[in-house]
Amino acid sequence: MQTAFLKLVAADIQQRFGNDLSEIAIVFNNKRPITYLKKHLAEVYGQAIWSPQFFTIQEFFKLSTNDAEASPLGQFFQLFKIHNELLAAEGKEPETLEEFYPIAEIILSDFGQLDYDLVPIDQLYMELYDNTKIDIAFQHLTQEQQGFIRQFWQSFSIAGHSGVQERFLQLWKRLPILYTKFKETLKAAGQTNYPTIYRDLVESKATLQDFTSSFKQILFVGFNALNRAEAKLFRQWQEEGKALFYFDADSYYLDDNMQEAGLFIRRNIFQTGLVNALGSSPNIIGNRTSTVNLYASTGKISQTKLLYDILEKQNNKEQTSAILLADENLLVPLLQSLPDVNPNITTGYPLTQSLFMVYWIYGWKCI
């Protein structure tokens, strides 16, 4: 039985669409899996076929507009200019580049998140100085969340604001205008950014709203956490019969609400209503009987030398090897020490930052 996720996807594509995939769009969250799916499609078909079109999610959504993508630096200068114009209109001194740059990064990030999650701008930046306004505006939140927001705003409601508090409140009132003028300035210049593209698609404001009609079917592969805009568009396209979704899920964590690994996929399937094209999820993790071996090593470089011996003994051309490298600084010596294998290497998650190590330091070690 095939268990590799992308192999299952390739086999399902062949069964559903046959040899002509020229009008099929396959969308991933990033570029890396594209290479692997191409390899598996070649293995499954074993002959020349019309290739599907591959996109990242941002590349795919970009097809909905003819506007040019504004560079991060260009967005900063646009925001800086508009902000100082608003300050001048309020009779205040303009800010310098050095003063505005740190907060500009936060503002642009917040504007982007608001668009991705389709948050009403005016409602978010309203003045909330009393409990009644909080109760009305945020009644959908839990009592704990409402209490946090109430405590936050009460700290700015006391008499005699400090200079920092006063500046924060003035900026807070200015943000809705800044957001609107920033979007209008980009649009007038024939420019856009990805958060705007997402929001325009959901609100039917995209220049090429029907861009999906040029594809016979759209396959979204391997998505996990979806923002609100993606969830709404995916559900809409599924109802229109345009989209299929392939989720890399295992019943071990999908059916157990206590398993955090399945949080977003459960939300996608059970709340958003997206259907996994692969059908019911197998219980691969729960049925696994793998052997775990521990090896002693005297130093970091010696780890890579030891790994050579392990892979050389277990080398099997029909099996794949995954290497989780805790210290990414060892990547170069590791690549220089590998035998003739094609492993999948993941870096950047030191053991000292894991919950296991934190518990060992503050839990077991103290017992």
Taking phi first (over 0 means left), then psi (-120 to 50 degrees means alpha), and beta for anything else, what does residue 18 get? left
Backbone torsions φ then ψ of 275, nearest 5 degrees: -100, 130
Residues 219/244, Cβ–Cβ less than 8 Å: yes
- 172-176, 237-241, 322-326: lowest mean pLDDT where? 322-326
Name beta bridge partners: 54: 26
Q: How far apart are CA 160 and CA 220, in angstroms?
A: 54
Structural tokens at position 226 = 């979806």
Q: How far apart are the first and last CA of the chain?
A: 45
For the four alpha carbons of 163, 168, 171 and 173, in that order, the dihedral sign comes to negative
Cα angle, residue 194 at apex, residues 193 and 200 outer, rounded to 5°: 95
Higher pLDDT, 348 or 338: 338
Mean residue pLDDT of the chain comes to 83
Residue 290's pLDDT is 79
State pTM to two decimals.
0.77
- Residue 249's Cβ-count burial label (10 Å; 0-12, 13-18, 19+) is buried
Checking if the pLDDT of 190 tops 90, the result is: yes
Q: What is the CA radius of gyration of the chain?
A: 26
Total number of residues shown for the chain: 367
Checking if the pLDDT of 167 tops 80, the result is: no
Checking if the pLDDT of 143 tops 60, the result is: yes
Q: How far apart are CA 318 and CA 344, in angstroms?
A: 14
Residue 362's pLDDT is 45
Q: How far apart are CA 9 and CA 19, in angstroms?
A: 15
Structural tokens at position 301 = 């470089």
Cα angle, residue 365 at apex, residues 360 and 367 outer, rounded to 5°: 120
Checking if the pLDDT of 324 tops 90, the result is: no
Predicted confidence band at 352 (pLDDT cuts at 50, 70, 90)? Answer: low
**Closest CA relative to residue 216, chosen from 242, 240, 181, 195:** 242
Predicted confidence band at 325 (pLDDT cuts at 50, 70, 90)? Answer: confident
Residue 198's pLDDT is 96
Sheet strands (E) in the chain: 24-28, 53-56, 68-69, 191-192, 217-221, 243-246, 322-325, 344-347
Q: How many percent of the chain have pLDDT more than 70?
A: 80
